[in-house]
Amino acid sequence: MRKPELLAPAGNLEKLKFAVLYGADAVYIGGQRFGLRSKAGNFSCEDMREGVEFSHAHGAKVFVAANIIAHNDDFAGMEEYFRTLYDIGIDAVIIADPAIIDVCRQAAPDLEIHLSTQASTTNWQAVKFWADEGIKRIVLAREVSLQEIREIKQNVSVEIEAFIHGAMCISYSGRCVLSNHMTNRDANRGGCAQSCRWQYDLFEEVEEQTDELPLFAEGDDAFTMSSKDLCMIEHVPEMIEAGVDSLKIEGRMKTAHYVATVVNAYRRVIDAYCENPKEFRFRPEWMDEILKAANRPITTAFYYGAPTAGDQIYGLPPKMAKYEFAGLVLDYDETAGIATIEQRTRFSVGQEVEFFGPKRENFKQVVTAIWDEEGAALVDANRPLQRVKLKVDRPVQPYDIMRKGEGILSLAGRP
């Protein structure tokens, strides 16, 4: 069974390391220019070098998004930027604008180019055009169905990348100017203000009246243009069978906990299916993991037909239990059964926590005691990045995550 690449987002160097350690075959990052996530942490050249070294040491690749829709004044320094990426060892760049593709080819002819989803590629003829232009991989528009992916792979021999998880844009392939209008922040040059997810009142214009009539009564739920989040974890086999070469997770602005949780869950599904497709059975705990990282209800978006009202968020979304990154395992004393933890959010004696990691089954326990680095007993770990020790019920290892939550998530809001 051909195993597809699992491609994960990395908004900064720490998230890159979590993505790789928790099972990503490749990560995509943004530099400090020319990308569509200007508010993400993004990478300096020094961070890129460290990220490439770390990823390559673990058998993973690093791609850089340079996918703005460029205006005339965006090209200054672009040639030097691509030459720097090539010298650093970046494996590929993700580009949407044909002019930027030309600049990259001239500046760094051996740097692999992937066509961004922002190019809105939705049919096999367009895929063939870009393949004939020498583009190594096409990241399909999010409006493409599974059947259309099958037809593309039947007609064109080129790598196909498709989103399997994450936020969906309400506008066609992200070609939105609502943020520009509302905030003067250009969504297609990296400044999207997520205006579609704001809450709005609606009004009806009435002839011969100077005032507009509100369509909502006081106390009604506000209107949004917000989409549910894409989640294809139950449909990974169909994505693989359709011929998708790279399964992409959205979320460079998400937390490290989100990246680790989602990557870990998809890694397990992909490996289980590819190991034995005929005997594969989807395990409910994989979906439970995904929901622990979710902050919106989920949908399959365009993969099985055009979305309906059921794929949008109207009014208040279903309540989702909140899970937080409580601590990062730094070390484990096997003889004493004590872990050294770096605190990320406050946790206390008597609180139930859950440990998970890339090479273990999850386990829950109650925190029975906490000690500081000098051995003094603590009631709680309440200082950011505080290093503490606590007794753990099972062996753990560095980069395992300890999280705290509010119980099991409801499946309310699923399509």
Q: Are residues 284 and 362 in the same domain?
A: no
Q: Are residues 122 and 182 in the same domain?
A: no
In a domain, 312, yes or no: no
Give SS3 for 95: strand
In a domain, 411, yes or no: no
Q: Are residues 69 and 157 in the same domain?
A: yes
- Residue scoring higher pLDDT (211 or 56): 56
Q: Are residues 154 and 186 in the same domain?
A: no
Q: Are residues 48 and 180 in the same domain?
A: no
In a domain, 81, yes or no: yes
In a domain, 370, yes or no: yes
pLDDT tens figures, 230-271: 999 999 999 999 999 999 999 888 999 999 999 999 999 999
Q: Are residues 163 and 181 in the same domain?
A: no
The boundaries of the domain holding residue 42 are 5-168+227-303
Q: Are residues 117 and 147 in the same domain?
A: yes
Q: Are residues 204 and 249 in the same domain?
A: no
In a domain, 137, yes or no: yes
Selection from 312, 319, 266 nearest residue 289 by Cα: 266
Selection from 43, 51, 36, 59 nearest residue 11 by Cα: 43
pLDDT tens figures, 291-318: 998 778 899 999 999 988 888 887 666 6
* Partners of residue 377 on adjacent β-strands: 371
Is the model's pLDDT at 22 over the cut of 50?
yes
Is the model's pLDDT at 412 over the cut of 50?
no
Q: Are residues 47 and 154 in the same domain?
A: yes
CB 176, CB 192: distance < 8 Å: yes
In a domain, 351, yes or no: yes
pLDDT band at 211 (very low <50, low <70, confident <90, very high): low
What is the structure's pLDDT at 415?
36
Q: Are residues 130 and 238 in the same domain?
A: yes
Q: Are residues 270 and 381 in the same domain?
A: no
**How far is the C-alpha of 235 from the C-alpha of 275, rounded, in Å?**
16
Rounded to the nearest 5 degrees, what angle is found at the Cα of 341, between the Cα atoms of 337 and 346? 125
The H-or-E segment that residue 181 falls in is helix 178-183
pLDDT band at 210 (very low <50, low <70, confident <90, very high): low
Q: Are residues 48 and 143 in the same domain?
A: yes
The domain total for the chain is 3
- What is the CATH classification number for the domain harbouring 333? 2.40.30.10
pLDDT tens figures, 320-372: 668 899 999 999 999 999 999 999 999 999 999 999 999 889 999 999 999 99
What is the structure's pLDDT at 10?
95
pLDDT tens figures, 118-168: 999 999 999 999 999 999 999 999 999 999 999 999 999 999 999 999 988
**How far is the C-alpha of 370 from the C-alpha of 350, rounded, in Å?**
10
